[in-house]
Amino acid sequence: MSTATCTVKGCNQNGPHRHEEHHPEPAILDTILDHIGNTPMVRVNKIAKAEGLQCELLAKCEFFNAGGSVKDRIGKRMIEEAEKDGRLKPGCTIIEPTSGNTGIGLALTAAVKGYRTIITLPEKMSQEKVDVLKALGAEIVRTPTEAAWDAPESHIGVAKRLNAEIPDSVILDQYANPYNPVTHFDHTAEEIYRACDGQVDMLVAGAGTGGTITGIARKLKALCPNIIIVGVDPHGSILAQPESLNTTTEGYKVEGIGYDFIPEVLDRSLIDRWIKTDDKESFTMSRRLIREEGILCGGSSGTAMAAAVRAAKELGPGQRCVVLLPDSVRNYMTKFLNDGWMQANGFTDEVMAQEQESKH
């Protein structure tokens, strides 16, 4: 390992890190951790047609990972790399500030390997995530959603304090850990490239830490030089560029994407275009993905798909747009999956209202 720029084709990432070969899933798995990665790519038929798209629209369904989200990939990888480096040893405690899914990925890996896990997570995040985390044996500390990222009471601030207090504790730090983007470079991007026989014209993904979009974009830009990378950012977040797109810092309900700071692992130079989205279009699109395509995804999946149907209008026949769907509806059973919640929050769109009407 050296600190120089990586020479693996397309990586160019500074700082020490290792790469892995990608392999298909074995027929019999040693543990459930072997069911992380190799997720299905599904053609999105009715929505593409209804939106008048000429290109092929494909969904990379990350909710089929063992813990239910794209973040299982980094949960497993960050732990295994820390073990290889000797930072993580039997008896250590893993502490991580997260919007929930990284916590689930870490807690799942920790459950299999036997580490204690403490997750700090903002109040905004769903009870469903908390219950899964607890069932996996994680200890949870809730923090105020409105706390600025660098405030001592934020999920990041509290994790740092616990790390100072608890002996043999480690923060793997998804915001700065090179294996966050590297695991998507090695695997997620490789899977997309192989599934598409090397032809990907557009990739659309939201950004939280930005690890997913950064890792995928690095590899696909090297392999498909004309690809357009579209970043998706909710109104209320400041990740999009140019800055003039970020017109408000008001809160929003979609979980897992957007921030009030730029995470170290997010390389915005790789993003060709940013699209801003709101809660209503996100949740109504998630409900459409479920109702029309049978794709049981979460809220940020609706965000990415809502942006994709806008961005992919510029593609023509024979071209291909891949959209990353990060997590499952399991995390939101009492939220956007619930008609009463949708109505109470003013997110029920005309189509859903008519459907409900016709049932009575």
Size of the site for ligand PMP (CB under 6 A): 18
Q: What is the token pair recorded at 88?
A: 């993580």
What secondary structure letter does DSSP report for 221?
Answer: H
Cα 310 from Cα 303, distance rounded (Å): 11
Q: Which among 9, 46, 60, 71 is annotated as catalytic?
A: 71
Position 255 contacts ligand PMP (CB under 6 A): yes
Cα(224)–Cα(265) distance, integer angstroms: 22
* Residue selected from 79, 92, 107, 207 as contacting ligand PMP according to rule CB under 6 A: 207
Residue 103 interacts with ligand PMP (CB under 6 A): yes or no: no
Is residue 246 a contact point for ligand PMP (CB under 6 A)?
no
Q: What separation in angstroms does the CA of 82 have from each of 75, 88, 201, 326?
A: 11, 5, 35, 24
Q: Which of residues 303-342 bind ligand PMP (CB under 6 A)?
A: 326-327
To the query of whether residue 76 is one of the catalytic residues in this protein, the response is no
CB of 74 to ligand PMP, least distance (A): 7
Stretch that binds ligand PMP, among 30-38, 205-213, 277-285, 308-316 (CB under 6 A): 205-213
Tell me the C-alpha distance between 171 and 66, whole Å.
22
Which residues have C-beta within 8 Å of that of residue 352, sequence separation ≥ 6?
A: 284, 287, 339, 342
In the region spanning residues 106 to 125, those forming contacts with ligand PMP, defined by CB under 6 A, are none
CB–CB of 33/74 below 8 Å? no
Question: At its nearest, how many Å lie between ligand PMP and the CB of residue 312?
Answer: 19
User: How near is the Cβ of 301 to ligand PMP at its closest, in Å?
Assistant: 7
Torsion over CA: 278, 280, 283, 287 (sign):
negative
- Candidates 68, 103, 157, 211; binder of ligand PMP (CB under 6 A) is 211
Per-residue contact flags (x/-) with ligand PMP for residues 128 to 157, judged by CB under 6 A: ------------------------------
Dihedral angle sign, alpha carbons of residues 170, 172, 176, 182:
positive
Considering the rule CB under 6 A, would residue 256 count as an interface residue with ligand PMP?
A: yes
Q: Could you tell me which residues come within 8 angstroms of residue 30 by beta carbon, excluding any fewer than 6 positions away?
A: none
Which residues of this chain interact with ligand PMP, rule CB under 6 A? 69, 71, 99, 101, 206-212, 255-257, 298, 300, 326-327
By annotation, the residues acting in catalysis are: 71
